[in-house]
Chain A
Amino acid sequence: MHYRAAAITVGAAVIWFSWPRPDAQIRIALGGIATLTNAFGLTSALGDTLRVGGGGARRTVRVINADTLPHVLAMFSVNPNSQQDFSVPPGVYEGTCSVHKGNTQLTVLVR
């Protein structure tokens, strides 16, 4: 019985870790308010610097644009009411950001 429970737990853990999910997910709500959800499901407001970590050679950044306007966040551009995945190699990227009304800049730090 214990053996079966352990197997189920291990199986669930393997599935959870291997299930394809983005390393970072940005969601732009109506009005251009952006939130960031990391790989562990924690959500916060998108800051001036987007830090993306994870395993493997590349990181996946998913941008969901639920706004009625197109948005450009550094090199990530997404049409209205659509989502796009970007597979990004490690590096530091900078660019203008349409959801940062103040400084209009976003730095993407991919480790």
Chain B
Amino acid sequence: MCGRRMRTPGILLAALVSLAACASERQLHGVMIDPPREIASFAFTLPSGAAMNTAPEAGRPMVLFFGYTHCPDVCPTTLADWKRAAQKLGKDAARVRFVFVSVDPERDTPAAADRYAKQFDTTFVGVSGDSTTTARIMNEFGVAAARESGTDSTNYSVSHSGSAFLVDAKGRLVAMYPFGIGWEALAADLKTVL
């Protein structure tokens, strides 16, 4: 009888310890994906002709954003936020791969996409793939984009998802950052995953 009385608190204690262990798992400031989602890798060609692959690199997390170079608001704001996050990281920023992916490959050449990203920080990479690759990577990240009606075939805007994505060094999508969440959240989370 006494043994049974002792067993119940013991089980409760073990349960509490387990719950505490779960609670102490890595916490991020962005919208966390639970469990982290394995992400396929995609290959792009840089303006130099070199290949750029989104496959995981040891010790190097990756931040991605999907936009277009003619974007008047969300894209420049997001890349400016990245710049501030990179500045906050200091030397560690060199270990982060910041990748801007164009959702408007018709207008954004690989050179235009890369030039656009590098306007904000020379370590940023901008890529623009063919329509098939663009559709596949957008689908992989659940990014939506739609061309809005414009005055002509080259003067149009594109409505697109405004979230940035954090992929850890193992190639898993661990968090995302909806537009407006603040660059501090990204900077803090990069410090955590680095």
Contact = CB atoms under 8 A, between A and B. Distances in A.
A96 B139 contact: no
Interface of B: 19, 22, 29-35, 37, 139, 141-144, 146, 159, 161-163, 176, 178, 180-181, 185
**Which are the 7 A-B pairs with shortest beta-carbon distances?**
A77-B142, A87-B32, A85-B34, A93-B178, A75-B178, A96-B144, A72-B142
B25 to A, nearest CB: 10
A60 B35 CA distance: 12
Interface of A: 18, 20, 58, 60, 70, 72, 74-78, 84-89, 91, 93, 95-96, 98
Nearest to A56: B23
Nearest to B28: A87
Given A70-B142, A96-B159, A98-B144, A91 B34 contact: no
A74 to B, nearest CB: 8
10 contacts: A60-B34, A70-B142, A72-B161, A75-B161, A75-B178, A77-B143, A84-B33, A85-B35, A87-B31, A95-B178
Contacts of B37: 84
A86 B163 CA distance: 14
Contacts of B185: 89
A77 to B, nearest CB: 2
